[in-house]
């Protein structure tokens, strides 16, 4: 549950991407939950895992 006095975390929509603290925290959490992983041999490119595809589908997020 969110407290009324909780600090607001803001996101920013920029060039078709979610940025700001909200975007950063979601990105980190998706990696922690193993929905995203670093592409093999890359240092800045991530890919959706099989688990990620299944979980995004459950949320109604269409990726194909």
Give the chain's mean pLDDT.
91
12 and 19 Cβ atoms separated by less than 8 Å: yes
The predicted pLDDT at position 64 comes to: 81
What values do phi and psi take at 16, rounded to 5? Answer: 80, 15
Average pLDDT (17-37) is 96
In a 3-state reduction of DSSP, which class is residue 17?
Answer: strand
Q: Which helix (H) or strand (E) holds 53?
A: helix 50-58
* DSSP classification of residue 39: P
**What is the domain partition of the chain in residue ranges?**
11-58
Q: Which residue has the higher pLDDT, 5 or 13?
A: 13
Categorize the per-residue pLDDT at 43 as very low, low, confident or very high, splitting at 50, 70 and 90: very high
Number of Cβ within a 10 Å radius of residue 39? 11
The predicted pLDDT at position 5 comes to: 55
Average pLDDT (27-51) is 97
């Amino acid at each position: 549950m969110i407290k009324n006095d909780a600090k607001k975390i803001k996101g920013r929509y920029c060039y078709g991407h979610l940025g700001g603290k909200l975007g950063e925290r979601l990105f980190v959490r998706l990696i922690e939950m193993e929905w995203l992983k670093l592409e093999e041999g890359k240092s800045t490119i991530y890919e959706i895992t099989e688990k990620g595809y299944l979980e995004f589908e459950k949320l109604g997020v269409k990726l194909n």
